[in-house]
Amino acid sequence: MLSKRPSSPWSQQPPDAHHPLCATALVDCIRDNDSTRAPDDPSRAAATAATAAPMSTAPIGERIDEAYVDLSPQEQRAADFILAHLADLAVYNATELARLSGVSKATVSRLFRRLGFSDAKEVRAHARILRAEGVPLGGASAALTAHLAQEQSNIHHAFSSANVEQLTRAAALIAAARRVVVIGLRNSYPVALHLRQQLLQGLADVRLAPQPGQSIGEELAGLGPTDVAIVIGFRRRPDGFARILDAAHSAPVPIVLLADPSARRFSDRASAWLECPVDSVSALDSYAAANSLVSVLASQTLAVAARTSRTRIASINRLYSDLHELESPSG
């Protein structure tokens, strides 16, 4: 449970220089505004470092919540700014954080040490690692123009010349397969579900794995060289992801691997490797480029299997009409 943040001591009673809370705030204020004081004594700096918080693997937001009640008012002010701008933390240095939060650079440095970081550089590295792992970072929403620019960058990457060649190869493999199994776990599952639905318009045997409440083993059993496993594996993959690829590869089943750059180390197992970033300037990863890539992959597959896909699409449309499953164009 997160610690409840206290209200400012000034809102509870008139300032009293003898009150311990007021005295603490006064000392902190003096430290923050006295830019002419002599450099810190080395022995005092060493003592401060010795009292820094122990190393923690928790995200910085959790560290702030745990330590908040023990922070000075000025440190709380800097901490509040950090919590409101976690998504931007990887680009701020200590001077910028101090200016934007309205405290001194010394306060920011003390806050970082209390949170278990040696300096602002380590904090930026920590934030970059969290974002690269796909950990959602809260804070203020990014500007729409920045969001659009990042989406365009992702799409350009997804349709790079190398990917276009791999797309052609993947479509040929899928179109010729006896059976297609689309595998997606965790946040990759919705992308897998959409791809399966698109491919099913033109191909007769396209399966989704895992089914709700089921495992992968029974879906891989019986697959061979004439089949295809499309494995979708965006970051924050489950621990067994590599074992799924190894099992399919040893069957041997041709693999089409669709994932972000962090899965590049698995590409040697794949017959076709489609790299698609999910980077975002906001708190959560974006799958716009992934869904665009899925649309093109399905369309190219149906184009390769043109005759069979046309026959199947016509049959599906007749059933839609017979079953009254779709609304009429006239409404």
- Report DSSP letters for 236-287, one per residue: S--TTHHHHHHHHHHTT--EEEEE-GGGGGGGGG-SEEEE-----SSSS---
- φ/ψ of residue 202, rounded to 5: -120, -15
Residue-level pLDDT at 227:
95
**How many Cβ atoms are within 10 Å of 311's Cβ, its own excluded?**
13
Give residue-wise pLDDT tens across range 217-264.
888 888 999 999 999 999 888 888 999 999 999 989 999 999 999 899
Instruction: Say how far apart CA 107 and CA 100 lie, in whole Å.
Output: 13
Q: What pLDDT is recorded for position 21?
A: 41
* Separation CA 258–CA 269 (nearest Å): 12
Distance from C-alpha of 110 to C-alpha of 78, rounded to nearest angstrom = 10
What pLDDT score does 172 carry? 96
44 pLDDT above the threshold of 50: no
Which residues, at least 6 apart from 273, have a Cβ–Cβ distance to it below 8 Å?
A: 166, 257, 264, 267
Average pLDDT, the chain: 79
| DSSP 8-state assignment for residue 85 | T
Q: Is the pLDDT of residue 7 over 70?
A: no
Q: Which of 114, 111, 116 is nearest to 126 (CA)?
A: 116
pLDDT for the residue numbered 207 = 94
Confidence of residue 59 (pLDDT cuts 50, 70, 90): confident
Alpha helices, DSSP H, located in the chain: 20-33, 42-50, 60-67, 73-84, 94-101, 105-114, 120-132, 144-158, 161-176, 189-199, 217-220, 241-250, 288-304, 306-323
Share of the chain above pLDDT 70, in %: 78
